Structure 1
Amino acid sequence: MNLKQAGSGAEVDERLAALLTNANAVRAITAAVEGTIGPKGLDTMLVDRFGEVIITNDGVTILDKMDVNHPAAKMLINIAKAQQAEVGDGTTTATIMAGSLVAEGVNQVLRGVPVARVIEGVRFGIARAVAAVRARSRNVTDLDDSILRNVAMIAGREYEDIAELVIAAARLIGLEKLNENNFKLSETVTAEEGAENEVFLGVIVDKERMNKEMPETVSQAKILLIDDALEPEEMEDEALSTEAGFKKYIELQDEFKENVNKIVAMGVKVVLVDRGVHDTAEEILTDAGVFVVQRVASKELRRVAEHTGARMIKRTGLKKNIADIERYLGSAEKVYEDEKLEQVRILGGKGKPMATILVGAATAEVVGERERIAKDAASSVQAAIKGGYVPGGGTIEIAIAREVANAREEIKGMAAYGVDCVANALKQPLSQIVENAGYNPLEKVEEVLTLQTTQGSDSLGIDCDSGEVTDMLSRGVVDPALVKLHAIKAAGEVATAILRIDTIIKKKEEGSAAPKENAGNDAGMPDF
């Protein structure tokens, strides 16, 4: 049953108004990204009011940049963002399945199935689907396994150069580091206009040295990281107006110079500062031939600290004696400024090995998209290493849909209709992939279902070039199991949350004199 048609009837129970409104909002969000999935998926153009354009088929980028007001739509977008933050890929799959789950759930409610029973069945079906993915996951134990390159190629949208960069970086970093929970390979990716593709052991700081009189290159460098401003302690203007206050100001200036001279005395050759650097410090350090970079992003400082073995220090920490400060220092074999790319490279740190993936781009317009593609590939490769892989191209979802449908008999009463919602939603990724490739989705999904059942295989899918059924594993079409797990769980969470909403009420504006007129109407919320 068409949701819009169902919602337009004058006799529709008012209790379903919120559900129908939310379902239509979710459908609009799903429609924005469904055309991008699969090898034949197309791009979306995003245009702002100033005429700035982003062209991409990256699901989370489309959702993040969309102008959205409806609260249910925002819930779906937030789930996609959470998927991206957790595993770095699979946002389009999660969005498509969530949209399908909501639509299927609403249709069941319109048939007379209580919402509570639909939700019960959805939760049962999602739990069964998650268990089925885990059971079918194949492990990766070797970074030389060719399957990782296939993962990188698929997530990297068939860009061979990007796939090669990601695999090279993974091998440099090693299995132990890639399996760490707080390490993300995607964060090692950067893209620059005019750069050559490159992977190297080291980190990039996206800044230039403070002035051109400082050395351009430093070898065997002691490195100091200041998580603060390299400036004298501040005093209030009122305090400076008194004789005692002015005397204190002179003392602080002298103490600051002494602290900066400690840096020189320790033989530090590179100083990275979170905030600004005072003119006095710049002069002293320049004269001493120290390489200084200011206003370095906190994320970059942390990466440098990890790679060089340095510990970050506050400016007040410079009051300590030299022996204590030296324990904060790190070191690197080489630090230099790439003037063409306007960035600083730190190579051969004595801390943990850290690879950087530098992706080249011909023009400024494609820098962002190349970086997004490389980050997706890196996230997928790391996810496959941590959690294994499953057949891709929407095939594993079909196999799981069969298992969920078979489990329908295990649940009593009308909750079985909620299980049907999950089984149908799991078919949606393959359905959309083949539709984007120009084939009849109903015909192809049923063809895959039949052959998977008769041949007992979970890897049979559709070749989007020929339209024929093929074994995805033998073709090297695979997806990280973690991406599928999170997509299924995320879709289930947002769908049940939206289905549970019975009433929408515009909240009173807080902290303002008067609410904006009709502020809630765009979200389908009534005024009271």
Structure 2
Amino acid sequence: MNLKQAGSGAEVDESLAALMTNANAVRAITAAVEGTIGPKGLDTMLVDRFGEVIITNDGVTILDKMEVNHPAARMLINIAKAQQAEVGDGTTTATLMAGALVAEGVNQVLRGVPVARVIEGLKYGIDQALIHLKQQARVLQDIHDPVLPNVARIAGREHEDIAQLVVEAAKLIGMEKLADKKFKLSDIITAQEGADNEVFMGVIIDKERMSEEMPQALSGVKALILDDALEPEEIGDEALGTEAGFKRYIELQEEFKANVHKIVQLGVNVVLADRGVHEIAEEILIDGNVLVIQRMNAKDLRRVAEHVGARMIKRTGLKKSAEDLLKYIGRADTVYQDEKLEQVRILGGKGKPMATILVGAATAEVVGERERIAKDAASSVQATARGGYVPGGGSTEIALARQVEKDRENIKGMAAYGVDCVVNALKRPLAQIVQNAGYNPLEKVEEVIAAQTGQRLDFLGIDCDTGDIADMAALGVLDPAPVKLNAIKAAGEVAVAILRIDTIIKKKEEPDKAAKAAVASEPGLPDF
């Protein structure tokens, strides 16, 4: 006899089994990051089986490194990753909101509200919240707007030095570049142990020159960038065994030498290669006083090419005439290797302006976290430049909750309970922020609601140092509007997806996977 045959009570348990399982998994995920939000949020230590430790306050890093098997939990983590990819910050807010929406939805279902009605009201409430949020967003005046340092400071978790670096870089780059959807300000950040904080117009290559016999510093740079290996064309072993094949091999070697000599004759003094550089080329380029960097990653290669105004070329392209090759060469003022930091800098490129933010760290243990903080700050600055800003500290979400609660009157029937889910979820960020600061969340949330309603000011929140009602804008507590918009939208989407799951069924093994599993389990075979 199954549970449904056992009576009405068992039927209820069976019908809610998937929902409750998913809700518990989501709750476990939100619990992992909720203690990190706000100015008084604490860090999380992640430890793997080898004893490697990461200490971080970054929500998406915590979620990404967690060992998670439950499918609903992975859905929530994927939303956080999507938030990171879209706007680069706000992952903890998105996770808290999604968790709260699921929890509130389950509570309504347990009260007897049909899931379909909960979802209907939830969707309506999220849509209304997004409409009101767009109306509240304030536009950045220009790149020198005093709002920008505050946005960087809040996103950078009160690290003033990092906020200053990010804002300085944004000013160097300008609004037009920040508005470019293909450009990410966070990509120009690198953190280095023992380095000094620095912003400069140029590109850092996190590699050393190929040989110490090559020049350490050059001016009047002419750069050739190979999206390929700088090696002779290959001939198969079978062909080499024939007289014609060996003759062709000698011809290719000579042709390759001639092409490398051509590079030197063109006055090229910097060569960057995507892959390896042959020893024949290395010898010729050393004699030509050329600085060579090999095996660069594709992203760095593209950045350098853009900065120096070079066109990337394949090794077969070196057969072109000297006149044609000149069209591929980029230029810069200087290039030099920093021996201490083991990196090469290219400065004053004649192509697109390119800034670099170098974040210093005292020890290797904090390099990663300093870089994550800087990337969050940079992402928030760029999001603000694109889509404006709103008061932070959970105050905007409270204002939205008040608005959505009024909109509840416009929806009829039991779907109104779904709107309640959105109202309560919007209170969650402030509640967690003040709880992390050591205050009673229920008390402080009600204080803010009363203050905003009584004074008709949507930017009132809680000063986490004093516990008093405060003007978030006056305190400089500001968040990018696009981060809030994406967080609320993403939270609503994942909550609806999870609440819609009625049954969990284990998939059968696909034939190829089952065969691999069977082979792996055969006795006498080694494990890999």
| Other structure's SS at 2:97 match | helix
Offset from partner CA, 1:316-374 (integer Å, 9 cap, x none): 11121122221111110001100110001000000111110001100000000011111
Q: Scaled by the length of structure 2, what TM-score is found?
A: 0.95
CA-CA distance at 1:416 after TM superposition: 1.3
Counterpart residue identity of residue 462, structure 2: I
Partner of 1:4: none
Partner of 1:31: 31
Taking the TM superposition and a 5 Å limit, the aligned residue runs for 1:478-489 are 478-489=478-489
CA-CA distance at 1:194 after TM superposition: 0.4
| Other structure's SS at 2:301 match | helix
Offset from partner CA, 1:91-143 (integer Å, 9 cap, x none): 00000000001111111112222222211111111111111111001111222
2:209 corresponds to 1:184: no
Partner Cα separation in structure 2 for residue 515 and residue 424 of structure 1? 48
Counterpart residue identity of residue 333, structure 2: E
Partner of 2:513: 512
Partner Cα separation in structure 1 for residue 122 and residue 514 of structure 2? 43
CA-CA distance at 1:514 after TM superposition: 5.4
Taking the TM superposition and a 5 Å limit, the aligned residue runs for 1:172-211 are 172-211=172-211
Offset from partner CA, 1:213-235 (integer Å, 9 cap, x none): 11111101111110111111122
Task: Note closer, same or farther for the CA distance 1:179–1:360 as it changes in structure 2 (3 Å cut).
Answer: same
Offset from partner CA, 1:485-528 (integer Å, 9 cap, x none): 110011011111111111111122221345869xxxxxxxxxxx
CA-CA distance at 1:283 after TM superposition: 0.7
Counterpart residue identity of residue 487, structure 2: A
| Other structure's SS at 1:512 match | helix
Partner of 2:155: 155
2:393 corresponds to 1:396: no
Counterpart residue identity of residue 238, structure 2: E
Offset from partner CA, 1:409-460 (integer Å, 9 cap, x none): 2122221111111111110000000011111101110111111111111100
Which shifted more, 107-116 or 11-20?
Answer: 11-20
Which shifted more, 116-125 or 464-473?
Answer: 116-125
Taking the TM superposition and a 5 Å limit, the aligned residue runs for 1:437-476 are 437-476=437-476
Offset from partner CA, 1:222-273 (integer Å, 9 cap, x none): 1111011111112221221122221221122122112212211211111110
Partner Cα separation in structure 2 for residue 365 and residue 450 of structure 1? 44
| Other structure's SS at 2:502 match | coil
Partner Cα separation in structure 1 for residue 387 and residue 196 of structure 2? 32
Counterpart residue identity of residue 40, structure 2: K
Structure 1: 5+ residue stretches without partners:
1-8, 518-528
Partner of 1:220: 220
Partner Cα separation in structure 2 for residue 117 and residue 228 of structure 1? 58
2:330 corresponds to 1:334: no
Partner Cα separation in structure 1 for residue 385 and residue 214 of structure 2? 43
CA-CA distance at 1:13 after TM superposition: 2.9
Counterpart residue identity of residue 483, structure 1: V
CA-CA distance at 1:405 after TM superposition: 1.0
Partner Cα separation in structure 2 for residue 40 and residue 10 of structure 1? 45
2:76 corresponds to 1:70: no
Asked whether the 8 Å contact 1:202–1:345 carries over to 2, the reply is: yes
Taking the TM superposition and a 5 Å limit, the aligned residue runs for 1:250-261 are 250-261=250-261
Could you list the runs of 4 or more consecutive aligned residues of structure 1 that deviate by over 6 angstroms after TM superposition? none
Partner Cα separation in structure 2 for residue 421 and residue 158 of structure 1? 32
Partner Cα separation in structure 2 for residue 516 and residue 113 of structure 1? 44
Partner of 1:520: none
Partner Cα separation in structure 2 for residue 151 and residue 386 of structure 1? 13
Partner Cα separation in structure 2 for residue 166 and residue 135 of structure 1? 28
Taking the TM superposition and a 5 Å limit, the aligned residue runs for 1:56-205 are 56-205=56-205
Partner Cα separation in structure 2 for residue 228 and residue 420 of structure 1? 58
What's the Cα RMSD here? 1.3
Partner Cα separation in structure 2 for residue 323 and residue 410 of structure 1? 72
Counterpart residue identity of residue 101, structure 1: L
Work out the percentage of aligned pairs sharing the same amino acid: 75
Partner Cα separation in structure 1 for residue 304 and residue 474 of structure 2? 42
Task: Note closer, same or farther for the CA distance 1:450–1:306 as it changes in structure 2 (3 Å cut).
Answer: same
CA-CA distance at 1:11 after TM superposition: 6.2
Taking the TM superposition and a 5 Å limit, the aligned residue runs for 1:265-344 are 265-344=265-344
Partner Cα separation in structure 2 for residue 375 and residue 512 of structure 1? 39
Partner Cα separation in structure 2 for residue 13 and residue 184 of structure 1? 49
Asked whether the 8 Å contact 1:36–1:57 carries over to 2, the reply is: yes
Which shifted more, 25-34 or 303-312?
Answer: 303-312
Counterpart residue identity of residue 513, structure 2: S
2:251 corresponds to 1:264: no
Offset from partner CA, 1:128-187 (integer Å, 9 cap, x none): 111111100111122222211111111111111111111111111111111111111111
Taking the TM superposition and a 5 Å limit, the aligned residue runs for 1:42-53 are 42-53=42-53
Taking the TM superposition and a 5 Å limit, the aligned residue runs for 1:412-423 are 412-423=412-423
CA-CA distance at 1:12 after TM superposition: 3.9
Partner Cα separation in structure 1 for residue 404 and residue 171 of structure 2? 38
Partner Cα separation in structure 2 for residue 512 and residue 34 of structure 1? 38
| Other structure's SS at 1:13 match | helix
| Other structure's SS at 1:292 match | strand
Counterpart residue identity of residue 289, structure 1: N
Partner Cα separation in structure 1 for residue 189 and residue 131 of structure 2? 33
Partner Cα separation in structure 2 for residue 307 and residue 124 of structure 1? 47
Which shifted more, 105-114 or 95-104?
Answer: 105-114
| Other structure's SS at 2:357 match | strand
Counterpart residue identity of residue 15, structure 2: R
Taking the TM superposition and a 5 Å limit, the aligned residue runs for 1:351-390 are 351-390=351-390
Asked whether the 8 Å contact 1:508–1:515 carries over to 2, the reply is: no
Partner Cα separation in structure 1 for residue 242 and residue 71 of structure 2? 57
Partner Cα separation in structure 1 for residue 55 and residue 122 of structure 2? 35
Partner Cα separation in structure 1 for residue 224 and residue 123 of structure 2? 52
Asked whether the 8 Å contact 1:431–1:442 carries over to 2, the reply is: yes
Partner Cα separation in structure 2 for residue 125 and residue 370 of structure 1? 37
Partner Cα separation in structure 2 for residue 345 and residue 130 of structure 1? 44
Partner Cα separation in structure 1 for residue 61 and residue 167 of structure 2? 24
Structure 2: 5+ residue stretches without partners:
1-8, 519-528
Partner Cα separation in structure 2 for residue 15 and residue 329 of structure 1? 68
Partner Cα separation in structure 2 for residue 116 and residue 440 of structure 1? 34
Partner of 2:436: 436
Partner of 2:410: 410
Which shifted more, 260-269 or 212-221?
Answer: 260-269
CA-CA distance at 1:10 after TM superposition: 5.8
Alignment coverage as a number of residue pairs: 509
